[in-house]
Structure 1
Amino acid sequence: MAKHTKTFGPSPVIPVDERSVTSHMVHFVSYASNPILAGLQPLEYTGWRDESLSWHDSSYIHANLNPSPTYRFWGADSIEFLKKYCGNSFEKFPVGFAKHGIMLDEQGRIMVDGLLVRREEDFITYWMNPWLQYCVENSELDVQGEDVTGKVFMFQLGGPTCLQVLDAASGENLHDIKFIHHRMSKIAGRDVMILRVGMAGSLAYEVHGNVEDAIPVYEQILKAGVKYGLKRLGTPAYNMTHWENGFPQAYLDFPLPWFEHKEFAAWLREREIGFLCDPEIVKDSLSGSVGQDFAARYRNPIELGWGKTINMDHEFVGKKAVEELKAKSSRQMVTLEWNKEDILDIHRSQLGDPVPYKDISSPEDLAFGGIYPADWVLNDKGEQVGVSSGRMVSWFYREMISLCSIDEAYLNEGTDVWVLWGEPGTRQKKVRAKVARYPYFNECRNQKVDTSLIPVGTMD
């Protein structure tokens, strides 16, 4: 008897697109505690090469993060709650502002991070659930919350012309929105919140609204974008935005230590989402020469380059551990450029060797079957000095790059290291690599773009 499998229809937030260059589809399943619609979305539209040029020379729209884990909360003690559970400072957090919220465990490891937005009457977060909800429900402070995953949508836009696209779509001049600020607007007659933030490093925005308004808003943005070269991003190209931008991210570059927290794991199981902290499921998702060494995969904010975001002006969970990390030598993030001759040798082995090296033909690992890739980085003595994750082919720069957490002695650009390619117990290759600039994309970064120099976008 055939095993029953659940089928999914089109995504509820984007129109059906039969012009995709590939028949491969992906469904994105939420981490919400309540069942919601999950839909199929193309892996590619015009091909990963074309799409990955968009944040350099035109603009893009990405919708494959729908539905994102989304949680809103409110209450008299909301700021005190944030101070207790986040490493960020909240002395200045006015309405209309947003922060990269970072929550740690007592060992200083990342428990969750995401976008934290302050609105008139409440706060709304993206990708900070379910840990944030667990903290709200177990806090003695005056704070309440609601899981709104699946009730809202989020579209990401980026690239040199993305502001003009949004101007045209809204019929409004949006140049006044400063970096990491937001305000309300309308697109296709629907209320939306527009936030200036992005993952690719270039000028970028997010559009948020109610899920029932998603498709007309999306269609209006596409219509406005024709004039400005707007492209749609599939999953591979979206993953690449993080690595060119130098922004390591949970679920892509490192796992979260949820299954090590027994009370939280029990809370997840009570809500029938215990698979999120099942160690056996997590083990099955690991790839790369690091193998199943969890300790080597977890990350703290110092080695991720988020030390400036963590502020020691208040007491918070994990503060003591962060103080100890800051006081000693710590690994830090760099970009690695992989040696092209070694890459070609791996390709050659697929056709010429009885036992080839691990396949390296995909443009990046995650969308094509690899999850949490992590490879040991070695020095010339063969000693482990770092962990590389998120390998990608950067079509714009014509390089294969990866993000790497590496010992302090190896931070200088041009330093030679080796990436150990291949799973434990299989044929492995030491790929030559060099420490490169970090972040790799360093032209016209979002926070430095002077939007007053950009013409206001209009519809034809």
Structure 2
Amino acid sequence: MTPKSLQQAIDEAGSPMGVVWKPNAKAWEVPVIAPEYVGWRAEQAAWRDTVALSDLSHHMWDLWIEGPDALRLLKDYSANNYENFVIGQAKQFVPVTANGDIITDGILMRDSEERFNLSGVPASQSWVRYQGEKGGYDVEMRVDPDSGLRKQGEPILFRYQIQGPNALPLAEKLFGGPLPKTKFFHSTPVHLDGRTFRAFRHGMAGMPGYEFIGDWADAAYVKAAILKAGEEFGLVHVGGKAYYTNGIESGWIPTPTPGIFTDPALRDYREWLSLFSYEGQKPLHGSFYSNKIEDYYVSPFELGYGKSIAFNHDYLGREALERARNDYRRRRVTLIFDKGDMDRVFGNPEYLNSYGRYRIEVGGKRVGMSFQTGLIGPLDTILSLALVDREYAEPGTPVEFIWGEHPGPGNDPAGDFGFQTLRATVAPSPYNDHARTDYRRG
């Protein structure tokens, strides 16, 4: 039986918000990987103090695009600069709608002249697949879902990320010497006991390190070798709980709402998407509720992707981005909660990670919304990654964070449903000093 389309679900619910608004929605968990290995606090501390190993093989989707039209397809439907895009290089993939709203990002790596790999949240992959199929591009596409949704078999690739102050010494020990000097977001082939894979200069927590990517057949051997080599450097295996908090400090907003729910021109796309797609199942919740899902759409400029956006070729959404480049409303910030208010509202939480959209206010006026809020053990505080109107984005600006769950459709968007107010102070994003200053150098 064919599953219901996203458009059918919207029509039946009466609005997109009737489909995606799910109060108290539980944060997604990493499949296969244990929630904790030595305790999430110690795992968070490892990428700051020693070195952390994150196994990224199971929670991301992969899409391979291959063929004579692969590059043309990517250029037509993303805002990236493809000049001098060399084999082994990666980009923060930035696909947008005609209105300039982000679909979601991803990591795009060039595997060969006509072969590319797009990994991450599947919304951007669905967008490329749809455009490739409907546009008649001469490409072949292959999808590998995450391990929670893959019906059978193992992942095609392993991905092991090491990051932290001891990541580079660990790599030297593992390979018997320093790796070739590699630019940020570039990769180099490496060899380990007859096995060849890539060392990608990239780290999710904004700390120095590498992501090793290779064929799944070599996964167990490579992981065991990393664990063995890391013993003298204090290597800690990171579980799902700690891993999903690492973007808060590095400033990566992981789950923007795809801007595809309302444009009449995208009705066919919504009919192509299943209700059980990422778009149909990724919940919205929190204290900020609007009947208009457009109020949750974001610009790639607001997410901090301005340096990844090019205007040297034509693509869908280019005109909208040209209009927005010098006049986008919100800025990405980190919010630091007042200690007294934090203790009053949360007490002594065992763990906290929420992707809720919580209201950010000044004097009762909404000036922004949060995207991820989590407890950072080494700092003994809760931080929130948010977008706020630019006039309130200066570090040191006091704001109010509204904690609670709006019941959603059929209720007053401005209603008070027992929400609690916490004082917070605006800080830079990335919050991590290294991510903000040195991470992308070299």
**TM-score interval, normalised by the smaller of the two chains:** 0.7 to 0.9
**Displacement of 1:44:** 0.8
Provide the rounded CA distance (Å) in 2 between the counterparts of 1:133 and 1:278: 14
**Displacement of 1:443:** 2.7
- 1:130 is aligned, of 99, 121, 126, to 126
Provide the rounded CA distance (Å) in 2 between the counterparts of 1:336 and 1:420: 12
1:210-241 Cα shifts (integer Å, max 9, x gaps): 12221221111111111111111112211221
1:79-107 Cα shifts (integer Å, max 9, x gaps): 32222111011112112321111111112
**Displacement of 1:297:** 2.5
Instruction: Report the residue type matching 2:143 in the other structure.
Output: D
2:68 corresponds to which residue? 76
Provide the rounded CA distance (Å) in 2 between the counterparts of 1:238 and 1:439: 17
2:421 corresponds to which residue? 430
Residues 56 and 159 in structure 2, CA contact (< 8 A), matched pair in contact too: no
Q: Structure 2 matches for 1:143-222, cutoff 5 A?
A: 143-149=139-145, 150-222=155-227
Q: Select between 180-189 and 139-148 the one with higher mean Cα deviation.
A: 139-148
Residues 387 and 406 in structure 1, CA contact (< 8 A), matched pair in contact too: yes
- 1:140 is aligned, of 132, 136, 147, to 136
2:359 corresponds to which residue? 376
1:331 corresponds to which residue? 330
Q: 1:117 to 1:186 in 2, by over 3 A?
A: same
Provide the rounded CA distance (Å) in 2 between the counterparts of 1:224 and 1:278: 41
Provide the rounded CA distance (Å) in 2 between the counterparts of 1:275 and 1:201: 32
Q: Does 2:434 match 1:443?
A: yes
Provide the rounded CA distance (Å) in 1 between the counterparts of 2:279 and 2:441: 43
2:309 corresponds to which residue? 310
Give 5+ residue unaligned stretches, structure 2.
1-27, 146-154, 407-415
Structure scoring higher RCO (CA < 8 A, sep ≥ 6) equals 2
- 2:257 is aligned, of 245, 248, 255, to 255
Instruction: Report the residue type matching 2:330 in the other structure.
Output: R
Provide the rounded CA distance (Å) in 2 between the counterparts of 1:158 and 1:446: 14
Residues 203 and 446 in structure 1, CA contact (< 8 A), matched pair in contact too: no
**Displacement of 1:362:** 4.6
Q: Select between 136-145 and 174-183 the one with higher mean Cα deviation.
A: 136-145
Provide the rounded CA distance (Å) in 2 between the counterparts of 1:98 and 1:313: 19
1:369-420 Cα shifts (integer Å, max 9, x gaps): xxx311000002x000000121122233333211110101111111010001
Q: 1:89 to 1:287 in 2, by over 3 A?
A: same
**Displacement of 1:302:** 1.2
Provide the rounded CA distance (Å) in 2 between the counterparts of 1:305 and 1:373: 20
Residues 361 and 399 in structure 2, CA contact (< 8 A), matched pair in contact too: yes
Provide the rounded CA distance (Å) in 1 between the counterparts of 2:60 and 2:373: 24
1:226 corresponds to which residue? 231
Residues 206 and 250 in structure 2, CA contact (< 8 A), matched pair in contact too: yes
Q: 1:167 to 1:238 in 2, by over 3 A?
A: same
Residues 86 and 104 in structure 1, CA contact (< 8 A), matched pair in contact too: yes
Provide the rounded CA distance (Å) in 1 between the counterparts of 2:337 and 2:29: 31
Residues 76 and 316 in structure 2, CA contact (< 8 A), matched pair in contact too: yes
Q: Structure 2 matches for 1:274-353, cutoff 5 A?
A: 274-276=275-277, 279=280, 281-282=281-282, 285-291=283-289, 294-347=293-346
Instruction: Report the residue type matching 2:66 in the other structure.
Output: W
Q: Does 2:359 match 1:361?
A: no
Instruction: Report the residue type matching 1:276 in the other structure.
Output: S
Provide the rounded CA distance (Å) in 1 between the counterparts of 2:34 and 2:218: 21
Q: Select between 162-171 and 105-114 the one with higher mean Cα deviation.
A: 162-171
Give the 3-state SS of the residue equivalent to 1:112 in structure 2. Answer: coil
Q: Select between 287-296 and 408-417 the one with higher mean Cα deviation.
A: 287-296
**Displacement of 1:171:** 3.2
Provide the rounded CA distance (Å) in 2 between the counterparts of 1:314 and 1:333: 27
Q: 1:332 to 1:130 in 2, by over 3 A?
A: same
Q: 1:217 to 1:188 in 2, by over 3 A?
A: farther
Give 5+ residue unaligned stretches, structure 1.
1-25, 29-38, 349-359, 367-371, 451-460
- 2:91 is aligned, of 90, 96, 99, to 99
Identity rate of aligned residues, in percent? 29
**Displacement of 1:209:** 1.2
1:242-284 Cα shifts (integer Å, max 9, x gaps): 011111112xxx3324555432333333xxxx411665x44xx
Instruction: Report the residue type matching 1:136 in the other structure.
Output: G
TM-score, scaled relative to structure 1: 0.78
Give the 3-state SS of the residue equivalent to 2:306 in structure 1. Answer: coil
Provide the rounded CA distance (Å) in 2 between the counterparts of 1:200 and 1:278: 26
Q: Select between 291-300 and 238-247 the one with higher mean Cα deviation.
A: 291-300
User: How many residues of Structure 1 are paired with residues of Structure 2 in the alignment?
Assistant: 388
Provide the rounded CA distance (Å) in 1 between the counterparts of 2:382 and 2:60: 29
Q: CA RMSD in A?
A: 2.3
1:39-86 Cα shifts (integer Å, max 9, x gaps): 632101111111111121111111155152112222333332222111
1:33 corresponds to which residue? none
Residues 302 and 330 in structure 1, CA contact (< 8 A), matched pair in contact too: no
1:455 corresponds to which residue? none
**Displacement of 1:207:** 1.1
Instruction: Report the residue type matching 1:146 in the other structure.
Output: R
Provide the rounded CA distance (Å) in 2 between the counterparts of 1:323 and 1:126: 27
Residues 95 and 105 in structure 2, CA contact (< 8 A), matched pair in contact too: yes
**Displacement of 1:172:** 4.6
Give the 3-state SS of the residue equivalent to 1:117 in structure 2. Answer: strand
